[in-house]
Amino acid sequence: MRLRFRPVDGSFYDLLAQLAAQLVTGAALLAEVLAEGADREAVAERMRDAEHVADEFAHALFKQANSTFVTPFDREDIYALGGALDDVMDLMDEVVDMIHLYEVKQLPAMLSEQVEVLQRCADLTATAMPSLRNPGSLEEYWIEINRLENTGDRNHRRILADLFSGEYKAMEVLKLKDIVESLEGAIDAFEHIANIVEQIAVKET
């Protein structure tokens, strides 16, 4: 509806794609820390490194948005996207860190299912970012993320019901609830990214 002319600027898309690629790495580390016999401390350290790399991409993105006169899409949407991608990374880092620091004994089997949802979200998001040049083409991506978030929500409630079933001690439930909630927060943050992308697409039409 609105007329726009904006010079194509590749590096915004590159930075967003590189930031999203770190989320794929982060989700893989999350799957790794759940495996039996995992060296949790070592995984937590690699996660911290991945988180720092993501931080640097985010800063580069914000800096460029600040110093560029004409951005490929609304400046505020660039901030929102960068911030939301960064949020996912922070939450995944938190989960790995808590599994390590809290010395959780028994991880509910259903956690792996939830991490699979997260990995699928990360893959889809990393694939979507380079297509932001043509946001209208990303409808399938945001519909699928919304579907995954619903699955994650159902998983989350089932995991909580399991935690409260009487099988775990109150102290273990306290630890696991924190972990499980940050995990769900990360999936929600992926949905938030998809919502921003949808809004960008709506504005471009």
* Count of residues touching a copy of itself (by CB under 8 A): 22
Give the nearest distance from C-beta 113 to a copy of itself in angstroms.
Answer: 17
Give the nearest distance from C-beta 130 to a copy of itself in angstroms.
Answer: 26
What Cα–Cα distance (Å) separates residue 194 from each residue in 2, 28, 138, 153? 22, 20, 9, 16
Residue in 24, 38, 107, 160 binding a copy of itself, rule: CB under 8 A: 160
**Is residue 55 involved in binding a copy of itself (CB under 8 A)?**
no
Q: Tokens in use for 11?
A: 């590096």
**Is residue 169 involved in binding a copy of itself (CB under 8 A)?**
yes
Can you tell me the distance from the alpha carbon of 88 to that of 145, in angstroms, rounded to the nearest whole number?
14
**Is residue 167 involved in binding a copy of itself (CB under 8 A)?**
no
Residue in 13, 102, 151, 188 binding a copy of itself, rule: CB under 8 A: 102
**Is residue 70 involved in binding a copy of itself (CB under 8 A)?**
no
Give yes or no for a contact between 131 and 138, defined as CB atoms under 8 angstroms apart. yes
Part of the chain binding a copy of itself (CB under 8 A), chosen from 100-108, 131-139, 143-151, 186-194? 100-108
Give yes or no for a contact between 152 and 114, defined as CB atoms under 8 angstroms apart. yes
Nearest Cα neighbor of 128 from 8, 19, 9 is 19
